[in-house]
C-alpha cells in the first residue's frame, strides 16, 4: 500500500478524532482508521495486534492515573484543595490566580496532564464561582495551558513521555538534568504570558469563603493514597521501574483500600473512568505502525539530525496539525536511534507545542469538553490567538534551557 494512501487514511481519521462529527467518541475514528488500514493491506492483522501490544505500559499508566483522579473527584479532594486556595488568597484575584497555577503544576507533575485538564477544571470553576469572580475563564485557562507546559517536568507528567521514549525512559536524575531547566522556563514563561493576557480580569477583589470544605474519611484516605502514590512514582522514575505497571497497581490499590475503608462499592469510580481513551490510543499505535511500514520514517530520517531548535519547533507545529499523541508515536520511531539532545527536543515539541491550538493535545481536547460541561465555550480561533502569544516564547525558552543543559 502506498505511503500517500496511508497518509490519506490517517489524516481523515485524525480529522474525525479532533472534529468529532455527529458527536462520536474519539475512539471510533481511531479504530475505524486502524481497521481500514488492515483491510487495505497496509498492515497484517498480526502486525496490527503487535502494534497495539507495544502500548501495554501506556494503557496501564492511563488506567492507573484515571483511577486515582476519579477517586479524588468522588471523594472531593480537588474541591477541598480549591476551596483552601480561595481562603488563602484572601480576596486577591492575582494571588488566587498564582495559587491555582502552582497547584495545577503540582497536579500535572504528579498525576499527569490529563488529571489537570479533566478533574481540576470543574473544581476551579466551582471555586471561581464561589469567590464571585466576574469571569471564570482566566482561572480555567490555567488548567489548559499548565497541562502542557508542566507535562515534561517528570516522566510521569504526560503519557506522551512514555510513548516517545518507548521503554527507554531515562532515570529521574538524567531526566531532571535534561528537562529540569527547560521545564522551569516553560512554566514561568507560560505564567508570565497568561498573566499578561488576563491581567485586566485579575484586579478585582474577590469574596473570601466563610467556611472551608472538609474532607470525609474517604477523602482523607484518598489524599494519603495520592501522596504515597506520588512518592512511589517518583521513586520508580529514579530507579527505572516500569511506570505503567506501578501506576496501575497504585490506582487499583487505592480504589480497593478506600472502598473497603468507607464500605462503598468501587463501581462508581470505575464508571467515571474514560475507558474510550484506551481504544483511541490503540488505534493510534496501529496507524503509526502503518505509516512506518509504508516508509514515512525512512523519508523523514534526516529530520533527526537538523538540530534541537528545528526539531522542537517542527514537532511542536506538527502536533497542532495532527495532535501530539500520534506525533509522539511517530517521533518514537523517528528518533529511536537519535542523540539524546534530539530526542529531548522532540519531547519538548510534542509536550509543549500543543499549547498553540485547542486540538493540539488530548489533554486540551478533554479540557474543552470539561469547559462545555460547565456551560462555557471557547472557540478554536480565540484559543489560537491566545496560544500564539503563549506558546512560542515558552517553547523557545524551553529549547534554550535544553541547549544549556546538554
Average pLDDT of 350-372?
A: 89
Where do the domains of the chain lie?
77-214+295-405
Average pLDDT of 207-220?
A: 83
Among residues 217, 400, 223, 205, the alpha carbon closest in space to that of 312 is found at 400
What counts of helices (H) and strands (E) characterise the chain?
21, 0
Average pLDDT of 391-396?
A: 97
| More confident: 349 or 166 | 349
Summarize pLDDT for 233-282 with one digit per residue, the tens: 899 888 888 889 999 999 999 999 999 988 889 998 898 888 888 998 89
| More confident: 215 or 187 | 187
C-alpha cell at 251: 490506582
pLDDT, mean over the chain: 91
Average pLDDT of 2-19?
A: 89
User: 378: Cβ–Cβ under 8 A, 6 or more apart, which residues?
Assistant: 137, 358, 368, 371
Rounded Cα distance, 263 and 81, in Å: 24
Tell me if 158 sits within 8 A of 65, measured CB to CB. Answer: no
| pLDDT score recorded for residue 304 | 76
Tell me if 274 sits within 8 A of 66, measured CB to CB. Answer: yes
| pLDDT score recorded for residue 167 | 67
Burial class (CB in 10 A: 0-12, 13-18, 19+), 400: middle
pLDDT band at 314 (very low <50, low <70, confident <90, very high): very high
**Per-position b or e across 232-242, b if 16+ CB within 10 A of its CB:** ebbebbeeeeb
Residue 401 has pLDDT above 70, yes or no: yes
Residue 380 has pLDDT above 70, yes or no: yes
User: 215: Cβ–Cβ under 8 A, 6 or more apart, which residues?
Assistant: 75, 76, 77, 80, 223
Residue with cell 511517530: 330
3-state class (DSSP) for residue 295? coil
Which of 91-95, 135-139, 187-191, 206-210 is predicted least confidently? 206-210
DSSP secondary structure code for residue 203 in this structure? S
Rounded Cα distance, 368 and 333, in Å: 30
Residue 339 has pLDDT above 70, yes or no: yes
Residue 166 has pLDDT above 80, yes or no: no
pLDDT band at 44 (very low <50, low <70, confident <90, very high): very high
Tell me if 135 sits within 8 A of 127, measured CB to CB. Answer: no
H-run or E-run covering 342? helix 340-352
Among residues 274, 224, 282, the alpha carbon closest in space to that of 49 is found at 282
Rounded Cα distance, 142 and 105, in Å: 9
Tell me if 122 sits within 8 A of 370, measured CB to CB. Answer: yes
Summarize pLDDT for 65-88 with one digit per residue, the tens: 889 988 988 999 988 988 889 889
Q: Is the dihedral of CA 257, 261, 263, 269 positive or negative?
A: negative
Residue with cell 462503598: 264
Among residues 181, 179, 163, the alpha carbon closest in space to that of 171 is found at 179
Among residues 250, 141, 84, 65, the alpha carbon closest in space to that of 73 is found at 65
Which of 134-138, 148-152, 217-221, 319-323 is predicted least confidently? 319-323
Q: How far is CA 20 from CA 23, 221, 348, in A?
A: 5, 38, 27
| pLDDT score recorded for residue 306 | 83
Backbone φ and ψ of 391, nearest 5°: -70, -50
Amino acid at each position: 500500500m502506498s505511503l500517500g494512501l496511508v497518509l490519506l487514511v490517517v489524516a481523515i481519521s485524525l480529522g474525525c478524532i479532533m472534529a468529532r462529527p455527529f458527536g462520536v467518541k474519539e475512539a471510533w475514528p481511531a479504530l475505524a482508521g486502524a481497521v481500514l488500514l488492515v483491510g487495505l493491506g497496509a498492515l497484517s492483522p498480526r502486525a496490527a495486534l503487535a502494534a497495539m501490544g507495544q502500548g501495554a505500559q501506556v494503557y496501564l499508566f492511563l488506567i492507573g492515573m484515571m483511577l486515582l483522579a476519579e477517586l479524588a473527584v468522588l471523594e472531593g479532594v480537588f474541591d477541598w484543595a480549591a476551596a483552601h486556595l480561595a481562603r488563602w488568597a484572601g480576596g486577591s484575584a492575582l494571588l488566587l490566580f498564582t495559587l491555582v497555577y502552582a497547584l495545577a503544576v503540582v497536579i500535572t507533575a504528579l498525576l499527569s496532564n490529563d488529571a489537570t485538564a479533566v478533574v481540576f477544571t470543574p473544581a476551579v470553576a466551582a471555586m471561581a464561582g464561589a469567590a464571585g469572580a466576574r469571569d471564570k475563564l482566566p482561572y480555567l485557562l490555567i488548567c489548559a495551558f499548565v497541562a502542557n507546559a508542566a507535562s515534561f517536568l517528570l516522566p510521569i507528567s504526560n503519557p506522551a513521555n512514555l510513548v516517545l521514549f518507548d521503554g527507554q525512559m531515562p532515570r529521574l536524575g538524567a531526566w531532571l538534568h535534561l528537562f529540569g531547566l527547560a521545564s522551569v522556563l516553560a512554566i514561568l514563561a507560560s505564567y508570565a504570558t497568561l498573566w499578561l493576557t488576563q491581567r485586566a480580569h485579575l484586579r478585582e477583589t474577590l469574596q473570601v469563603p466563610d467556611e472551608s470544605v472538609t474532607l470525609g474519611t474517604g477523602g482523607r484516605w484518598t489524599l494519603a493514597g495520592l501522596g504515597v502514590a506520588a512518592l512511589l512514582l517518583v521513586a520508580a522514575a529514579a530507579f527505572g521501574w516500569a511506570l505503567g505497571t506501578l501506576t496501575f497497581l497504585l490506582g487499583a490499590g487505592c480504589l480497593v483500600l478506600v472502598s473497603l475503608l468507607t464500605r462503598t462499592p468501587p463501581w462508581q469510580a470505575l464508571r467515571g473512568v474514560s475507558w474510550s481513551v484506551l481504544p483511541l490510543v490503540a488505534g493510534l499505535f496501529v496507524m503509526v505502525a502503518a505509516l512506518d511500514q509504508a516508509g514515512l520514517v525512512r523519508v523523514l530520517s534526516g529530520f533527526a539530525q537538523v538540530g534541537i531548535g528545528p526539531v522542537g519547533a517542527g514537532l511542536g507545529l506538527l502536533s497542532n496539525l495532527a495532535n501530539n499523541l500520534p506525533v509522539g508515536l511517530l517521533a518514537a520511531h523517528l528518533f529511536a536511534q537519535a542523540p539524546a539532545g534530539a530526542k529531548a527536543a522532540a519531547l519538548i515539541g510534542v509536550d509543549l507545542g500543543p499549547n498553540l491550538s485547542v486540538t493540539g493535545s488530548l489533554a486540551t481536547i478533554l479540557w474543552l469538553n470539561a469547559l462545555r460541561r460547565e456551560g462555557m465555550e471557547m472557540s478554536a480561533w480565540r484559543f489560537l490567538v491566545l496560544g500564539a502569544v503563549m506558546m512560542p516564547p515558552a517553547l523557545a525558552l524551553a529549547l534554550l534551557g535544553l541547549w544549556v543543559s546538554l
